[in-house]
Amino acid sequence: MLSRSHTSRAAERGTSLVEVLVTLVILAFGLLGVAALQTKIGVAEMESYQRAQALLALSQITERMNANPTQAASYVTAGTVGTGDAQPADCTAIAPGPNRDLCEWSNGLKGASEQHSGANVGAMTGARGCITQLQAPNPALGVCTAGVYQVAVAWQGLVPTVTPALACGAGSYGAPDSNRRVIASTVTVPTTSCY
The predicted-structure confidence for 28-87, as pLDDT tens digits, reads as follows: 999 999 999 999 999 999 999 999 999 999 999 999 999 999 899 999 999 899 999 999
Instruction: Return the ∠ at Cα 183 (arms to 180 and 185), rounded to 5°.
Output: 155
**Residue 117 falls within a domain, yes or no?**
no
Tell me the Cα Rg of the chain.
29
**Residue 113 falls within a domain, yes or no?**
no
Per-residue pLDDT at 144: 82
**Residue 59 falls within a domain, yes or no?**
yes
**Residue 99 falls within a domain, yes or no?**
no
Say if pTM beats, i.e. exceeds, 0.95.
Answer: no
**Residue 7 falls within a domain, yes or no?**
yes
18 falls in which pLDDT band (50, 70, 90)? confident
Q: Residue 11: give the domain boundaries.
A: 2-76+126-194
Is 112 or 141 the better-scoring residue by pLDDT? 112
Per-residue pLDDT at 17: 85
pLDDT at 5 over 70: no
pLDDT at 7 over 80: no
DSSP β-ladder status, 119-120 and 115-116? antiparallel
Instruction: Return the ∠ at Cα 61 (arms to 59 and 62), rounded to 5°.
Output: 65
Could you give the number of structural domains in the chain?
1
Query: Could you report the per-residue pLDDT of 92-131, keeping only the tens digit for each?
Result: 999 999 999 999 999 999 988 887 888 878 788 999 999 9
**Residue 138 falls within a domain, yes or no?**
yes
Is the separation of the CB atoms in 129 and 61 below 8 Å?
yes
Least-confidence region, from 13-22, 70-79, 179-188: 13-22
